[in-house]
Amino acid sequence: MEFLDEWQVHKNSKACVASYPSVVQNSILWFYPRTEPEHSDVLRRKRPPYFPDLDDPSFVTVYGVRDFLLGYDVLVENLMDPAHVPYAHKGLMRIRKKEDPGRYVPHLLWHDQILFLQFCTTNDHLLSTVEFDKEGGGPIKMMIEEANIEGFRSPQERGYFKFVAPCTFYGSPLRTETEDDEGKKKKKQPTVMLVFLCIPVAPGRSRLVWAFPRNVGVWLDKIIPRWYYHIGQNSILDSDIYLLHIEERNFAAVGLDNWEKACYVPTSSDNMIISFRNWFRKYCKHQVGWATPMVNQLPPTPTKDQLMERYWSHVMQCTSCSAALKWMRSLEVALQVASVAVVGFLAVAKETLVTSVVQRAAVVAAAVLCFAASRWLANFIEKNFYFQDYVHAHK
């Protein structure tokens, strides 16, 4: 073992922690993973994307994060595709049927915020009745403008979306970008916004950070905890994951240079997907520039419960969900103990305190209710904090 004087330890590289350029913006910690001196001022030269609504006190924002066994490119592509919502998320939203069997109008519950936000991307048939298929899919008009190395934007009839290369995708289904730029005068209008940060982690792995600011239903944020929103948001993500896993393997089979051979993209709603794939091909050559050399191949195929598990990919990283899980586990144990204690009380007191049939029936009912509640809670915990399968054929 080597012994060094204190002054030598302080100067020894083994005792030093690397310092990375970092900044907190929109309540998100950003850092640049390079320690060389020439990168020390990188965040002064180029700041991360900034979203005024996230810092606006008249807005409330639901943040979230989740890791995926999916590549960065497949994750970004999925977020850019509004047309898949009625099909991939079938059964997670309610669609009310009109008198004409070929005409539908979406009907969403007030508390289904994530469903509302994602379904809004299908534009005018959210607010009017148009031709739909039986799943609820309808026509979507979408344009692409200013496509270059910096990304592109997509103005739509009732909103807009913008890709800021390489990781940021954001927009609003209810207002135009011009309205966003006009300042406080327009911010009083009902507004919801979707912000997605898509982070490549490794080949076949990615992380999604999302933020949904809104200035409508602000009071709901005072009574609905963040973990409740995350349950609905994770259900939406779960219904995507297995389909995206298959898509990614199909792309790998034909090669990303030939990705069009693995899918069919004939409609205007595919414009953002095509634009992103063109950007990824032209400026990235269909691959992420990893900091350390690695073979750009997919990891072994995981099982479905590994693909869709929630605990390690989200719950353990989320303070709200992890606290809710801890509290519910404690409540589950308390209910089980209570059911046993009530039965024990009945056995001890049946000849003294509990003398009538009605009293004994009430005590037994209390024990059964406590046990049933503990079983229901255990099932709720498993489905919402660990794993819940989603089979499209059963929806």
* Residue 384 scores a pLDDT above 90: yes
Res 335: pLDDT:
94
Q: What is the DSSP letter of 172?
A: E
Tens-place pLDDT, residues 214-226 = 988 888 888 999 9
Mean pLDDT of 286-308: 82
What's the order of all strands across the beta sheet hosting 130-131? Answer: 95-97, 103-106, 130-131
Res 10: pLDDT:
60
Mean pLDDT of 181-195: 68
* Cα–Cα distance, 259 to 271 (Å, whole number): 15
Amino acid at 41: D
Res 12: pLDDT:
63
Beta-strand relationship, 95-97 and 60-68:
unpaired
* Long-range contact pairs involving 19-25 (C-beta distance under 8 Å, separation at least 24): 23/47, 23/48, 25/50
Q: Which CATH number fits domain 50-304: 3.40.640.10, 3.90.1820.10, 3.90.380.10, 3.30.1950.10?
A: 3.90.380.10
Res 225: pLDDT:
94
Amino acid at 338: A
- Contact (CB, 8 A) for 54 and 26: yes
Q: Where along the chain do its domains lie?
A: 1-48, 50-304, 326-394
| Positive or negative: CA dihedral 294, 298, 302, 308 | positive
Task: Tell me the CB-side half-sphere exposure of residue 133, using CA atoms within 13 A.
Answer: 10
- Indicate the SS3 state at residue 80: coil
Beta-strand relationship, 28-31 and 60-68:
unpaired
For residues 232-253, one letter each, b for 16 or more C-beta atoms within 10 angstroms of the residue's C-beta and e for the rest, the string is bbbbbbbbbbbbbbebbeebbe
Tens-place pLDDT, residues 68-78 = 999 999 999 99
Tens-place pLDDT, residues 351-382 = 666 556 777 777 788 889 999 999 999 999 99
Mean pLDDT of 140-160: 86
Mean pLDDT of 169-195: 70
Q: How many CB atoms lie within 10 A of CB 93?
A: 20
Give 18's pLDDT tier (boundaries 50, 70, 90): confident
* Cα–Cα distance, 201 to 195 (Å, whole number): 19
Higher pLDDT, 217 or 330: 330
Amino acid at 371: F
Weakest-pLDDT range from 27-36, 263-272, 346-355: 346-355
- Contact (CB, 8 A) for 190 and 215: yes
Peptide bond into 21 cis (omega under 30): no
> Averaging pLDDT over each range in 39-43, 91-95, 158-162, 384-388, which range is the top one?
384-388
| Positive or negative: CA dihedral 126, 130, 135, 141 | negative
